[in-house]
Amino acid sequence: MKRRRDIVFSIGFLSPTLILYCTFVIYAICLAFYYTLTDWSGIGDKSFIWFANYKQLVLDPEYWQVTKNSFTLVLLAILIQNPVGLLLAFFISRITKGYRFFRSAIFLPVVIPAATTGLMFSLLLNNDLGIMNGFLKAIGLGFLQQNWLTDPKIVIYSVALPQVWQYLGIHFVIYLAAIQSIPKEVIESAFIDGANSFQTFWKVVIPLVWDVIQIGIILNVTGALKAFDIAWIMTWGGPGISSSYISILMFRYAVKSFNFSYGITIAMTILIYSVTFTVVFRKIFGKSPID
């Protein structure tokens, strides 16, 4: 009797989430894959074309350009957010005053909408307002002044760096948690042995947080693949596609150009990259500890 009641209970309690999840996630993915095999504008008839979309994508120079842009973001994120985040976490663990203030300030950008970051930086980099260029001139780096939002050669950096700025705080707090979980004795014994702060950092802290660095890298890659808001608000991915990520190209095709099936194919590649990277990275470097 209890068994049957349990089954009824389970079905009842699972159904709201199960219905929503199966429809808009599981079934949606299957539909997505199906659409990549068609030629469809989003309305009207579709025709079945097998893998022609994928073939077109592989031969599409625009696709590889935006992939390169996304990759630039990944690289900038990995090379800036991890070292700086780790360094800041290490410093905070060594000082006595201001812990709460610094931590609050460094993490603050993480909680706001990415679209807000996009709009803020489109104003800060705006040459009519001249904040960025003025700042560079004031600290003697006037020769670095640029047309931040219009120069096709650097606009990818103009949209990528605000993204790095916004989410560095996440890396900072996970490194901080890792450092704080190192037993005090390990650090103290290093100091007793005569090491200064910087030596302690290299020889003691880094090996112990290697696992967390892996997590940081996975976050960088999966996060960068999803990036959209900041670039879209700042430059609409332009000029041309010089500041477009893969997701922006997807949006352009699926929504703006009514080439829905090609857009979905691009979206599929985001899924493939994300899953493949996570699985392969974990396999190579082993399971990372989860707090």
Partner 1 sequence: MRMSTLTAAAAKRKIARILMYSILIAYSALCLFPFFWSLLSSVKDNTEILVRSLSLPEVWRFDNYPKAWTDAHMGKYFINTGLYAAISTTTLLIITPMAAYVIARVVKRNLLLYTFYTLGIMIPIHATLLPSFILMRGLGIINTRPSLMLAYIAFNISMSVFILVGFMRTIPKELEEAAFVDGATRTYTFFRIIYPIAKPGLATIGILAFLNHWNDFLVPLILITNDNLKVITQGLQELRGQYGQDYGLMTAGIVLSFIPVVILYIVFQEQMIRGLTAGALKG
Q: Which residues pair with 39 in a beta bridge?
A: 47
Segment contacting partner 1 (CB under 8 A): 53-61, 66-74, 139-147, 170-178?
A: 170-178
Figure out which of the listed residues 49, 110, 136, 208 binds partner 1, where binding follows CB under 8 A: 110
Figure out which of the listed residues 71, 136, 218, 281 binds partner 1, where binding follows CB under 8 A: 218
3-class SS at 112? coil
Span 84-103, contacts to partner 1 by CB under 8 A: 84, 87-88, 91-92, 94-95, 98, 101-102
Number of amino acids touching partner 1 (CB under 8 A): 95
Span 182-201, contacts to partner 1 by CB under 8 A: 196-198
Span 42-81, contacts to partner 1 by CB under 8 A: 42
C-alpha separations of 141 from 121, 123, 133, 137, 144 in Å:
19, 20, 9, 5, 6
Residue 42 token pair: 């989003």
**Nearest CA to 227 among 265, 268, 270?**
270
Q: What angle do CA 34, 40, 46 make, to 5 degrees?
A: 80
34 with 259: CB under 8 angstroms? Answer: no
Closest distance to partner 1 from the beta carbon of 212 (Å) = 10
N- to C-terminal Cα separation, the chain? 40
- Compare residues 88 and 155 and give the one whose CB is closer to partner 1: 88
The full DSSP string for 143-161 is GG---TTT-TTTHHHHHHH
Figure out which of the listed residues 119, 154, 195, 204 binds partner 1, where binding follows CB under 8 A: 119
269 with 263: CB under 8 angstroms? Answer: no
- Compare residues 6 and 193 and give the one whose CB is closer to partner 1: 6
3-class SS at 172? helix
* Site map 20..49 versus partner 1, x via CB under 8 A: xx-xxxxxxx-xx--x------x-------
Segment contacting partner 1 (CB under 8 A): 12-20, 51-59, 64-72, 145-153?
A: 12-20
Report residue 290 CA to chain centroid gap.
19
| Residue 48 DSSP symbol | E
Is 10 one of the binding residues for partner 1 (CB under 8 A)? Answer: yes
Segment contacting partner 1 (CB under 8 A): 54-62, 63-71, 148-156, 225-233?
A: 225-233
Span 268-287, contacts to partner 1 by CB under 8 A: 268, 270-271, 274-275, 278
Is 228 one of the binding residues for partner 1 (CB under 8 A)? Answer: yes
